[in-house]
Amino acid sequence: MVNDPAAISPSVRPIDEAPRASVDRSLVALGGAAACIVGLVLLALAVSVLGMALPSIRELGFGFVVGRHWDPAHGDLGALPFLYGTIVTSVVALLVAVPVALGVAIFLTDLGPPPLRRPVAALVELLAAVPGVVYGLWAAIVLAPLLRTTLEPALEAHLGFLPMFRGPKVGVGLLCASLVLAVMILPTVASMSREVLRAVPTELREGGLALGATRWDVVRRIVLPHAKSGIFGAVLLGFGRAVGETMAVAMVVGSRPEITGSLLSPGYTMTSVIANEFAEATSVLHVAALAEIGVLLFVLTFAFNVAARILVAKVRGSESATARDVPAREDHEAA
Amino acid sequence: MTARESSPEKMRAEGLSAWFGGKRALKDITLPLVERKVTAVIGPSGCGKSTFIRCLNRMHEVVPGARTGGKVLLDGRSIYTRDVDPVRVRRRVGMVFQKPNPFPAMSVRDNVLAGLRLSGIVPPDPNRLAEDALRQAALWDDVKDALDRPGGALSGGQQQRLCIARCLALEPEVVLMDEPCSSLDPAATAKIEELIHELRERYTIVIVTHSMQQAARVSDFTAFFNVGELVEYDLADVIFTKPSDPRTEDYITGRFG
Amino acid sequence: MTTELDVAYPARKLAARLATAACCAAVAIALVPLLAVLFYVAKRGLGALSVSFFTELPRPVGERGGGMANAIGGTIELVLLASAMGIPIGIAAGLFLAEYRTTRLARVVRFSADVLAGVPSIIVGVVVYATVVVRMQHFSTLAGAGALAILMLPLVARTTDELARTVPDSLREAALALGASRWRIAIHVVLRTAAPGIRAGCMLAVARVCGETAPLLFTAFNNRFWNESFADPTSSLQVQIFTYAMSPYDDWHAQAWAAALVLVAMVVVLNLAARRVLRGPKPA
Ligand SMILES: Nc1ncnc2c1ncn2[C@@H]1O[C@H](COP(=O)(O)OP(=O)(O)OP(=O)(O)O)[C@@H](O)[C@H]1O
Ligand SMILES: [Mg+2]
């Protein structure tokens, strides 16, 4: 590229140096301005949800977070059912997705047959590409009836001694939302874990193998301990994702602001209540309460994402770790 | 030639070839490795020395897309037949890498015992075993007060000797060393060479090196490789005094390439 | 010989086999939902797809037939408009981050971009509603595209940043030695060298906002007809899938599947195209 004369020759001519320098300065300023926009957008988002939430924060105080009742028509506004729903669905989703995602990641870096690794990686990425609303459609029309007719009765029959597996068998509910979330965060956790596992140096793996360890010995006793905190980061990232996902959850969670203790019963989450009620909310306090739920969401995802990035970056040893796949990385796979 | 025929072979490569994907890195190597002797492998960079010794303990196949052809015999039995488990082969044929690679998260002691620890084996007397291996590797005096420090906190030369100790702790029959001194200073190099001298009593050793002097000093037999082929193999004295192939002569006198 | 100590070896080998089998099982489990979703989308979607789906407007409840021409157009319009805002700013910001990577501004912005990428998209919708829709006093295509652009910004900026930083400094120095100025080098040398990756990154960002629904709910909203200007609310495939899936009518469900098929096809094509761009001949 450097050899391309068009790229460089203009500035080689010293004649029009002065105007060029000022053009350069304004271009740098433009780049800086663009960068500032990114920062300002984040700031604007934070300030503006907070601003919208002020009436609710002032009026309801801390009671909002622990209030168990949500009845906007009568000004009874408590956010606990949504916090509960979000945390329960996200945690159950993690419990389901993390073991599978870790298995996939280990398959991709260590234990899978090498010729299968690349196609499997591509399919897992495809899993991440399907829009949430399509997962929601599938869950609402295919998965929920399936849960109602088979999985939920089976759960109650075999695990019904636990209250969380007892309840109405209606299909939609916290369990259904958790399962969809699990599918949606699986690729995030898997590809982030893969990055982290891949950062464990080849020399260490070979050192282990040369000592007569099996590949699994090497994974268990060298690779995983080495990558531990990074994998934890990947899990936190998955949690952040689960907390923020809206559409698929809104479509199958059942939309009932209740805390029943059962996974089978309908519930509500922070994102889905905003999606369902924000456009229709008329009272100032209702709008503000929804915005305050937004503030809580913001804080929650912020905390998890920052923690996750720090952990992952530590293992990868680079100064940054993006949650999103950076396309260039595909090419370094050869090693 | 009589020397070669009279001494027992510990290992033998027969028509050994190796590929990386479609690229052939070794062509039809036939080479004996004499028991309790040091065999040096020399040759220009990229000629396949590392590939060759990695074929001897089935580490070559660990690289994605890599495969081998031909035979490698260990005590007269092929190690590439279907019923042979590479894990067992690697127990008997140990390896020291070019770059010291102690496990950074493990202590010095655990590094020495890593071969067992990795496999979940608890030796009856771990401290004895560790001490023995460290003494054999001439590292005991350096680290006897620092057994619980992380293995990565040692100097480069100490790390390499730690890797040798780690290998010896498994009591292998053959020890493969891939340029074990390339990242070391002259003093540490001298220590390792001394060590090789002592180890020859008990182990069959194969060492890859870029240093003619080192090959001449430590080896009984020397093999000269060039672009994936074995050019010449003989007693070290013969190779370094009257090589029969002009390419060998060019290489050892520095006129190569 | 220590090998004799290794009496547990058969167990160890079995453990290795089991672990490998478990990983293969994990892959199978992970692929089941993917294949199930794709299968249903293809089956139900193809069954409901017809020419009129692409050419007609939605019919009111009770009337059979009709299509989603306006929603397809709306999604494309929203994404193009969002790209027009998000991609140039994102690339400029990313270049700045890479070329002035050590400045405090770059560090703050890089951190902000990472945080912004993790903000739930529904919050972006809420804020755009409060700042744009409320002020304009109606839902609009422009507001929807703005929300999507905000989601694209951090993706494009960080991809550009990471890729531009992989351009070796020797190239920059070679250009500097020829008397080129820093920003000029950023544009002519760095940007061109990293172009395939950046292009692929932009395509992935576009693919991702193609499917974003939550931020459109109270910005672009929905529209039974074609939108006449950017100031009008618009229909989109995403929101239509949501609305129709939540309705109790079977033929709306069928239409939702058809819309999902079209949307998934768009996203998958963009993803495959991005991969192709990456695989293509690389500059030396
Ligand atoms: N992982 C790999 N993938 C593809 N080709 C490889 C790989 N490793 C080595 N090769 C090729 O195989 C040939 C032999 O490599 P090898 O590492 O055995 O050389 P070497 O003699 O040990 O060189 P050096 O003295 O530099 O260590 C070289 O041409 C090299 O390019
Ligand atoms: Mg080598």
Q: State pLDDT tens for residues B22-54.
A: 899 999 999 999 999 999 999 999 999 999 999
Confidence of residue C7 (pLDDT cuts 50, 70, 90): low
Nearest CA to C238 among C252, C253, C217, C224?
C217
Q: Which residue has the higher pLDDT, C144 or A8?
A: C144
Q: CB B87 to CB A207 under 8 A?
A: no
Contact call for B87 and A212, based on CB within 8 A = yes
User: Which residues from chain A sit within 8 angstroms of residue C182, using beta carbons?
Assistant: 24, 28
- Quote the pLDDT of residue A15: 44
CA distance C2 to chain B (A): 6
Is the CB of residue C95 less than 8 Å away from at least one CB of chain A?
Answer: yes
Inter-chain touch B97–A208, beta carbons under 8 Å? no
Residue A241 clears pLDDT 90, i.e. is over it: yes
Report helix angle C250-279 to C191-210, nearest 10: 170
With a cut of 80, say whether residue C41 has pLDDT above it. yes
Percent of residues, chain A, with pLDDT higher than 70: 88
- The predicted pLDDT at position A47 comes to 95
- Is the domain A59-323 a CATH 3.30.2090.10 member? no
Question: Mean pLDDT across the stretch A155-164?
Answer: 86
The pLDDT score that the predictor gives to residue C191 is 86
Least Cα separation, residue A122 to chain C (angstroms): 10
**Quick one: pLDDT at residue B256?**
59
Kindly tell me if the per-residue pLDDT of A144 is higher than 80. yes
Asked if B119 lies within 8 A of C8 by C-beta distance, the reply is: yes
Chains interfacing with A (3 or more CB pairs < 8 Å): B, C
Residue from C91, C102, C122, C269 to probe the interface with A (highest A Cβ count within 10 Å): C122
Taking 90 as the threshold, does the pLDDT of residue B254 lie above it?
Answer: no
Q: How far apart are CA A18 and CA A3, in angstroms?
A: 25
What pLDDT, on the 0 to 100 scale, is given for residue C181?
A: 73
User: What's the whole-number mean pLDDT along residues C217-245?
Assistant: 88
For ligand 1, which residues put their CB under 6 angstroms from it?
B 20, 23, 25, 43, 45-51, 63
B74: β partners: B11, B77
What's the confidence (pLDDT) of residue A332? 35
Note whether B16 and B75 are within 8 A (CB): no
Would the pLDDT of A278 be above 70?
yes
- What percent of chain C clears pLDDT 90, i.e. is strictly above it? 54
Ligand 1 centroid to residue A334 C-alpha, Å: 14
For residue B88, which residues of chain C lie inside 8 Å, CB to CB? Answer: 3, 9
Q: Which atom of ligand 1 is nearest to the CA of B48?
A: 18
| Residue ranges of domains in chain A | 59-323
Domain ranges of chain C: 73-236
How much is the pLDDT for C6?
56
Predicted confidence at residue A330, as pLDDT, reads 36
pLDDT at B2 (0 to 100):
42
**Nearest CB to C159 within list A136, A250, A327:** A327
More confident: A25 or C142: C142
Average pLDDT over residues A76-105: 96
Q: Is the pLDDT of residue B231 over 90?
A: yes
Residues of chain A neighbouring B99 (CB-CB closer than 8 A): 203
How confident is the model at residue C283, as a pLDDT?
Answer: 41
**How far does B59 lie from chain A, in Å, by closest CA?**
7
Return the residue whose CA atom lies nearest to atom 29 of ligand 1: B46
Q: Which residues contact A315 (CB under 8 A, 6 or more apart)?
A: A196, A199, A226, A227, A229, A230, A233
What is the rounded average pLDDT of the residues C48-68?
84
Residues of B in contact with A332 (CB under 8 A): none
Q: Which residue has the tokens 């459609």?
A: A137
Atom of ligand 1 nearest to the CA of B225: 21
Q: Whose CA is nearest to atom 25 of ligand 1?
A: B45
Residues of A in contact with C131 (CB under 8 A): 44, 48
Average pLDDT, chain C: 88
State pLDDT tens for residues C142-199.
999 999 999 999 999 999 999 988 888 888 877 777 777 777 777 888 888 888 899 9
Cα of B13 vs centre of ligand 1, distance in Å, is 19
Confidence of residue A119 (pLDDT cuts 50, 70, 90): very high
Question: Sign (positive/negative) of CA torsion B157, B162, B165, B167?
Answer: negative
CB contact C150 to A (< 8 Å): yes
Q: Which tokens belong to B113?
A: 């015992």
Contact A211 B64 (CB under 8 A): no
**Euclidean distance between CA atoms A27 and B99, whole angstroms:** 47
Mean pLDDT of chain B: 89
Q: Is residue B90 less than 8 Å (CB to CB) from chain A?
A: yes
> Is the pLDDT assigned to residue A21 strictly greater than 80?
no
The protein residue with its alpha carbon nearest to ligand 1, atom 17, reads: B50
**Least CB-CB distance to C112: which of A42, A122, A132?**
A42
CA of residue A97 relative to chain centroid, distance: 12
pLDDT given for residue A2 in this prediction? 40
C43 has a pLDDT exceeding 70: yes
Q: Is the pLDDT higher at B2 or at C94?
A: C94
pLDDT digits (tens, 9 = 90+) for C241-283: 999 999 988 889 999 999 999 999 999 999 999 988 887 654 4
User: With an 8 Å Cβ cutoff, are B87 and A214 in contact?
Assistant: yes
Instruction: Output the pLDDT for position A6.
Output: 43
DSSP class of B32: E
Average pLDDT over residues A75-93: 94
3-state secondary structure of B42: strand
**Of the candidates B90, A243, A307, A174, the residue with the CA atom closest to the CA atom of residue C121:** A243
Put simply, the answer to whether B116 touches C3 (Cβ < 8 Å) is no
B95·A210 Cβ contact <8 A: yes
DSSP C14: H
pLDDT for residue A333 is more than 60: no
Flag the least confident range among A302-311, C55-64, C123-132, C270-279. C55-64
Q: Could you tell me what percent of chain C has a pLDDT over 70? A: 95
Higher local confidence (pLDDT), C28 or C165 = C28
* For B59, nearest residue in chain A (alpha carbons): A210
pLDDT of the residue at C8 = 62
* Cα(B4) to centroid(ligand 1), Å: 29
Percent of chain B with pLDDT over 70: 96
Do A110 and A198 touch, CB atoms closer than 8 A?
no
The residue-averaged pLDDT of C216-240 equals: 87
What is the DSSP code string of A34-88? HHHHHHHHHHHHHHHHHHHHHHHHHHHTTHHHH---EEGGGTEE--HHHHHHHHH
pLDDT digits (tens, 9 = 90+) for B123-176: 888 899 999 999 988 889 889 898 999 888 888 888 999 999 999 998 899 999
Q: Do A222 and B103 touch (CB under 8 A)?
A: yes
CATH of C73-236, one of 1.10.3720.10, 1.10.1760.20, 3.10.20.30, 1.20.120.1200: 1.10.3720.10
